[in-house]
Amino acid sequence: MRKAGIILFWAIASLCVIALVTLPINLQTQLIASIVVVTFMAVIKILKAEGTWRLTALAFGTAIIMRYVYWRTTSTLPPLNQLENFIPGFLLYLAEMYSVMMLALSLFVVSMPLPSRPSRAASPGKYPSVDVFVPTYNEDAHLLANTLAAAKAMDYPADKLTVWLLDDGGTLQKRTSANLLEDQMAKARHQELQVLSEDLGVRYLTRDRNEHAKAGNLNNGMKHSQGELIAVFDADHAPARDFLLETVGYFEDDPRLFLVQTPHFFLNPDPVERNLRTFEKMPSENEMFYGIIQRGLDKWNASFFCGSAAVLRRQALDQTGGFSGVSITEDCETAIDLHASGWNSVYVDRPLIAGLQPATFASFIGQRSRWAQGMMQILRFKFPILKRGLSIPQRLCYMSSTLFWLFPFPRTIFLFAPLCYLFFDLEIFTASGGEFLGYTLAYMLVNLMMQNYLYGSFRWPWISELYEYVQTIHLLPAVISAILNPRKPSFKVTAKDESVLVSRLSEIGRPFFIIFGILLLALFVTAYRVYTEPYKADVTLVVGGWNLLNLILAGCGLGVVSERGEKSATRRVKVTRRCEFGLDDRWYPATIDDVSVYGARVNVYAKSIGSLAIDTRGLIRFKTHGSDTEEILPVAVRNTQVEGDIVTIGCLYLPEVARDHSLVADLIFANSQQWTEFQLSRRGNPGLFRGTLWFFGLAFYQTSRGLAYFFSNRGARNKARSSAGATR
């Protein structure tokens, strides 16, 4: 009853706002109202007011956006009888309306995200049995060893925990392939992984045929196991020791719970972060999703399965026939089915696994293409808004998640719309300068402020636009093909173990340079037209300004596709852990400064050892997490650096037995607290103004870097060609 009253009151308030914003007031009034609202929002933002004020600021923004939509719909579309203007004009209108709709959906999702849940440790003595599934397809044994070791090392009663390596790379189908090479590789892999599993105490499982990709593999695992709960980790996602203890408790609370999802934390930067060098100081792209959107979804019981780092209930999966495999994003699809049959999900906002993400731009795009195509398939086959069994908020949440991937369309339109005017003199947006100021500029400002308000410390200004832009060029055809042939896309495993050792242009970077060239040309056209057509300089300047914004984004995109070479293949994690360094049977007191999956840096207190030869064998002795026994990990010295009494030694692990993998895993993955700290260290909202300035600076630098790569690359190729010609 009370709830109905609140809904009624809210509906009335909304209707009043709608009635007010759809009044056909004059431009002066609109201008003043815009200024007042923008000022109000700015003040609220500057005061960092939270809670109710946050929603008030959002309501302000919504009012201005609704006014914009009303005005845009009623007075800016080109007349229907000018088809050459109307068609592109209407496309632009649709693109804008899509953006507004997405903003509305995300407002719904994240306007009041659930606060991080307090730790819900599993009750001692009531531990359900858990099967850990690590599906693999082509990842190498070294990577798998770390993951499996970490999984095995999780704090959980050993009799309740079974770790399964689900190998799809060594299936009977592959081992008997007509392709000789594939056949031999599969056989070798089958052999190697069986041995590794044996060593680590892990169950190895493969199947006859590679049906239904990852979903099929997981279902095969389910067929062979009986645990109450199923934890899924990707081959490169190593869990922290406390993963299970932090997650299984929720299943006790809610018998209808099917999923506890945790965030994906990555040890290495994605290609954008790597090439722009923002990994250390700016929140990662996925933090917006895991840091706020999943929390928002969780409020509406719509947090969904992300393929890894999650625990699921077997009983629930059994009910819907296991993991769904219609789409290539089986995770989200499984979640939607289970949500629709009345099961619940929970999101734990704390990184409990650490993994790798694609290192090259090409594989990054490959991964995103899979997500986009999979979401298109879900949109097509499940159409969440009409899906029976889902609650209304869940429908909206899933619509938000799937429709998001249509962004390549509006992004393309926004990219090329200014060119319609600059190159072809089409007038696809009819508005005067004053109207532009009073409506469009206010809308854009409010939009940016709202984004900053919603995601401020998780996503800096213009970064969303940059990510969308760099994905758009290759995602657009992928999305179109998925829309046209929803059954065609097939599951492709994203390669994550590549590394870029030499600076080079991405193999799929060419279109970015072409687009940049076109936009640059448009900039010159703008200047030319302002000069030669002074009577419409105002319109030209506005459109030219828009194009300039696109150009800045495109320039920054050049930096993204210019792959920086990196010496170390993987990222180092700061740990600071006491240990002893063993050299020639002597033990020196030392601390481990940072670690990576391949090696560690150790500060040794030793006056005498001096500089060491490369490949000198050494030992690191340390206590594993949560135990008192000391264990020894063999290493090889790669470099030394003497500074007073402290010698800093960079060393490479030399794992010899399975236990050594567990020690490496313990060094890197045992302590999940350090990941949280790392994330928090780069979370900070620079604010709209500073963030924009920073971005423009970054974009300028990246443009020049991209162009430098482009020309040096061409120069190198030309030289190679000419030298080849000379030798011939």
Partner 1 sequence: MIRPVLLALTLLALSNASLRAQTLPFDMTPERPALTSPTEGQGENGTTEQPATPVVEPVETESFLRYILPDGNLGLTGEFEDRTWSVYLTPRQAAAGTKLNLGYQNSIFVAPEVSRLSVEINNTEIADQAIRSPESVTELSLDLPKDLLKPGSNLIRIRSSQRHRTDCSVQSTYELWSNIDAEKTYLSFTDDTVKTLQSLDDIRAIGVNESGLTRFNFVVPALEQPGATIPLMRLAQGLAVLANMPNQSFSFDTSSMSASRPGEMTVLVGTATELQAYLPSLPAGASSAPVAGFVEDPKTGSPVLVLSGPTWQAIRTAIESIVAPTDVVAPIRRDVITTQRWRSPDAPFLFSDTRLRFSQLGLNTGEFSGRRFRTDFTIGVPSDFYAAAYGEAVILLDAAYSSNVLPGSHIDIYVNGSIASTVPITSSGGGILRHLPINVTMRHFRPGVNTIAIEAILATEDDTVCAPGATGSDTPRFALFDTSEFHIPDFARIGQLPNLAAMAGTGAPYGRSLEAVPLFLDRIDADTLSAAATFLGRLAAGAGHPIAIETVASPAMIGNRSAVFIGSLSQMPQMIFTQMNIAEASRNTWGPDPGGQAQGVDTQAALNEWRDKLQGGFLNGQITMFEGWLKRNFDITLTSLRFAATSETSFTPSSEASLLVAQGPSPDGTGTWTIVAAPTGKDLHENMLTLSARANWEQLAGRVTTYQSGTKTVQTVPVNAFEFMQTQPASFSNYRLIAANWMSTNILSYAVLLAGLAVILGLATATLLGNLGRRQ
Which residues are part of the catalytic machinery? Answer: 168, 331
* 69 touches partner 1 (CB under 8 A): no
* 720 touches partner 1 (CB under 8 A): no
Amino acid, single-letter form, for residue 118: P
Among 301, 308, 369, 596, binds partner 1 (CB under 8 A): 301
* 441 touches partner 1 (CB under 8 A): no
Among 42, 55, 525, 636, binds partner 1 (CB under 8 A): 55
For partner 1, what does the binding mask look like between residues 258 and 297, x meaning CB under 8 A? ----------------------------------------
Minimum distance, C-beta of residue 122 to partner 1, in the bound complex (Å): 19
Minimum distance, C-beta of residue 344 to partner 1, in the bound complex (Å): 10
Using the minimum distance from each CB to partner 1, give the nearer residue, 3 or 567: 3
- Among the listed ranges 45-53, 564-572, 577-585, 720-728, the one in contact with partner 1 (CB under 8 A) is 45-53
**What is the β-pairing status of strands 573-583 and 617-623?**
antiparallel
Among 1, 46, 48, 63, binds partner 1 (CB under 8 A): 63
Q: Indicate the burial class of 40 (C-beta count within 10 angstroms; 0-12, 13-18, 19 or more).
A: middle
Q: How far apart are CA 522 and CA 489, in angstroms?
A: 36
Q: How far apart are CA 580 and CA 619, in angstroms?
A: 8
CB atoms closer than 10 angstroms to residue 421: 26
* 60 touches partner 1 (CB under 8 A): yes
* 73 touches partner 1 (CB under 8 A): no
* 536 touches partner 1 (CB under 8 A): yes
Closest CA to 103 of 447, 412, 465: 447
* 654 touches partner 1 (CB under 8 A): no
Closest CA to 244 of 198, 299, 145, 312: 312
* 1 touches partner 1 (CB under 8 A): no
Using the minimum distance from each CB to partner 1, give the nearer residue, 155 or 538: 538
For residue 538, what are the CA distances in angstroms to 8, 393, 431, 438, 710? 46, 44, 11, 15, 35
Minimum distance, C-beta of residue 7 to partner 1, in the bound complex (Å): 7
* 521 touches partner 1 (CB under 8 A): no
Binders of partner 1 in range 414-433 (CB under 8 A):
425, 430
For residue 31, what are the CA distances in angstroms to 436, 538, 560, 689? 10, 18, 39, 22
* 530 touches partner 1 (CB under 8 A): no
- Among the listed ranges 28-36, 359-367, 451-459, 583-591, the one in contact with partner 1 (CB under 8 A) is 28-36
Distance from the Cα of residue 643 to its chain's centroid: 40
Is 147 within 8 Å of 134 (Cβ atoms)?
yes
CB atoms closer than 10 angstroms to residue 253: 10
Minimum distance, C-beta of residue 353 to partner 1, in the bound complex (Å): 23
Provide the token pair at 360. 């090259």
Provide the token pair at 327. 């789409």
- Among the listed ranges 365-373, 402-410, 534-542, 649-657, the one in contact with partner 1 (CB under 8 A) is 534-542
* 47 touches partner 1 (CB under 8 A): no
What φ, ψ does residue 156 adopt, rounded to 5°? -170, 145
* 495 touches partner 1 (CB under 8 A): no
Is 470 within 8 Å of 504 (Cβ atoms)?
no
Q: How far apart are CA 621 and CA 578, in angstroms?
A: 9
Which residues contact residue 440 at a Cβ distance below 8 angstroms, ignoring those fewer than 6 apart? Answer: 68, 431
* 26 touches partner 1 (CB under 8 A): yes
Minimum distance, C-beta of residue 121 to partner 1, in the bound complex (Å): 17
Using the minimum distance from each CB to partner 1, give the nearer residue, 321 or 434: 434
Minimum distance, C-beta of residue 82 to partner 1, in the bound complex (Å): 7
* 62 touches partner 1 (CB under 8 A): yes
Buried b (16+ CB within 10 A) or exposed e, 62-77: bbbbbbbbbbbeeebb
Q: How far apart are CA 230 and CA 130, in angstroms?
A: 6
Provide the token pair at 603. 């500060």
Q: How far apart are CA 38 and CA 32, in angstroms?
A: 10
Using the minimum distance from each CB to partner 1, give the nearer residue, 82 or 713: 82
Could you list the residues that contact partner 1 (CB under 8 A)? 2-3, 6-7, 9-10, 13-14, 16-17, 19-21, 23-29, 31-33, 35-37, 40, 51-53, 55-60, 62-63, 75, 79, 81-82, 111-112, 114-115, 117, 298-301, 393, 425, 430, 434, 533-536
